[in-house]
Amino acid sequence: MTRTWNPEAVDEAVRQIAATPRLVVALDFDGTASPLVPEPMAARALPEVTAQLERLATLPDTFIAYVSGRSMHDLQEITEHTPASVVALAGSHGAQYWFPGGDAHSDELEDSPEGESKQALWAAAQPIVDRYAGVGLEPKAFGMGIHTRSATPEDEAAAFTEIDALVAARFPHWRRRVGHRVLEFSSRLEGKDAAIHRLREHFAATGILFAGDDVTDEDAMRVLQAGDLGVRVGPGESAAALRVDTPQQIAALLEVLASERASGRE
């Protein structure tokens, strides 16, 4: 059962994850590190979240990652990524990776038959998107996202219905995901559960704190193990142990985590 985190009380679950020997702190980006914004590419992490992640990254055996449905190119832009970054990136719901030191894995499909199908899908979807105010198409490495954060509920429903019919007719095997005001399709089947497994293996983690706000983040929540901690941002059913209300509260929780972990290593 998910319980609400109380910033005024010592939380045993936070204390325990802070004490794990090798910790990975993995955050979804949109709605978790950053507030949801009308223009997806305008999203940026809250400064207070960034400050606490930087603080955590200075601690021994502590590793930071963003886990997102964004394509790697877009994820690098919105996270203001640099080649010297200490933050690992898992993009496209766990199909693309970048690790500190330049260890990258990305299967782009531009010259493959699947890549050609992706381009054809974008071309077919664009006229549908253009008919509805506030609806936008986000090209992705393995598919596309249809964003409706600025659309009316009626236009969102109509656009999603048309896009669903288009993809069902042309690419019925592609994976469909629905999130906060977004409908996504991908030729890859990986979810954020794959990203959690990959991060655990890469960093030899003994504990993972994962935080997310959307339906797709539940793939990651469900594969967390004993010794891990899941944090849900905002409302909705969740497999997470803890819940906070906003990205601002994620920053507050990370501050407590960093203080607990630092004090345990003095």
Three-class DSSP labels, the chain: CCEECCCCCCCHHHHHHHCCCCEEEEECCECCCECCCCCHHHCCCCHHHHHHHHHHHCCCCEEEEEECCCCHHHHHHHCCCCCCCCEEEEECCCCEEEECCCEEEECCCCCCHHHHHHHHHHHHHHHHHHCCCCCEEEEECCEEEEECCCCCHHHHHHHHHHHHHHHHHHCCCCEEEEECCEEEEECCCCCHHHHHHHHHHHHCCCEEEEEECCHHHHHHHCCCCCCCEEEEECCCCCCCCEEECCHHHHHHHHHHHHHHHHHCCC
Summarize the confidence of residues 201-228 as an average pLDDT: 97
Summarize the confidence of residues 178-206 as an average pLDDT: 95
* Domain spans of the chain, in order of start: 3-107+191-263, 113-186
62 has pLDDT over 60: yes
pTM of the predicted protein model = 0.88
111 has pLDDT over 80: no
Interval 17-48: pLDDT, tens: 999 999 999 999 999 999 999 899 999 999 99
Share of the chain above pLDDT 70, in %: 94
Which of 18-27, 110-119, 128-137, 155-164 bottoms out in mean pLDDT, i.e. has the lowest? Answer: 110-119
Q: Which CATH architecture best describes the domain 3-107+191-263?
A: 3-Layer(aba) Sandwich (3.40)
Domain 113-186 fold: Alpha-Beta Plaits (3.30.70)
